[in-house]
């Protein structure tokens, strides 16, 4: 049962924690509400302050209540996790719009692995 859809724009990132020994990160983001269906930004080479300006659309299903943002550093072999952020969809659904910096908290939230600028628009069915 669909409740509408969510437009998600990944604008940019800033101060992403460096995971590379040489140079800077090659960051990308996986976005999902359900781990079975993930969408992903392109990889931006050699920066800890990337700009994506990429738009994604998600159908909202009953039970969807949190959207996740997993930030990774792409390596020649595999990937390193930079950080994870999430937003409660209740915050978006109540106003229909969300424009904020999502923090990527470090262990126990005592420090930060950077943040990403996310804009979301809820479109009812």
Q: Which pLDDT score, from 0 to 100, does residue 1 have?
A: 36
Give, in degrees to the nearest 5, the angle at Cα 98 between 92 and 104. 100
| Tokens encoding 39 | 């969408």
pTM of the model: 0.93
**What's the distance, CA 121 to chain centroid?**
15
- Digits of tens for pLDDT over the chain (125 positions)? 358 999 999 999 999 998 877 789 999 999 999 888 999 999 999 999 999 999 999 999 888 899 999 999 998 888 999 999 999 999 899 899 999 999 999 877 678 899 999 999 999 88
Q: Could you write out the DSSP letters of every residue in 37-92?
A: EEEEPPPPPS-SS-EEEEEEEEEEETT--EEEEEEEEE-SSSEEEEEEEEEEHHHH
Please name every residue paired with 103 in a beta bridge, in sequence order, or none if there are none: 115
Query: Which domains are present in the chain?
Result: 2-124 (2.60.40.150)
Query: What whole-number distance in Å separates Cα of residue 125 and Cα of residue 79?
Result: 37
Sheet holding 97-105, edge to edge: 51-61, 2-14, 112-124, 97-105
Instruction: List, for residues 17-50, the tens digit of each pLDDT value.
Output: 988 777 899 999 999 998 889 999 999 999 999 9
């Amino acid at each position: 049962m669909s409740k509408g859809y969510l437009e998600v724009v990944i604008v940019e990132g800033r101060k992403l924690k460096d995971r590379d020994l040489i140079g800077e990160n090659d960051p990308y983001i996986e976005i999902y509400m359900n781990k079975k269906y993930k969408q992903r930004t392109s990889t931006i080479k050699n920066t800890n302050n990337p700009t994506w300006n990429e738009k994604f659309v998600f159908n909202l299903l009953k039970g969807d209540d949190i959207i996740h943002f997993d930030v990774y550093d792409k390596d020649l072999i595999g990937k390193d996790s930079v950080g994870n952020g999430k937003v409660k969809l209740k915050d978006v659904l109540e106003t229909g719009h969300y424009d904020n910096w999502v923090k990527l908290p470090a262990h126990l939230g005592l420090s930060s692995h950077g943040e990403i600028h996310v804009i979301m628009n809820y479109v009812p069915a």
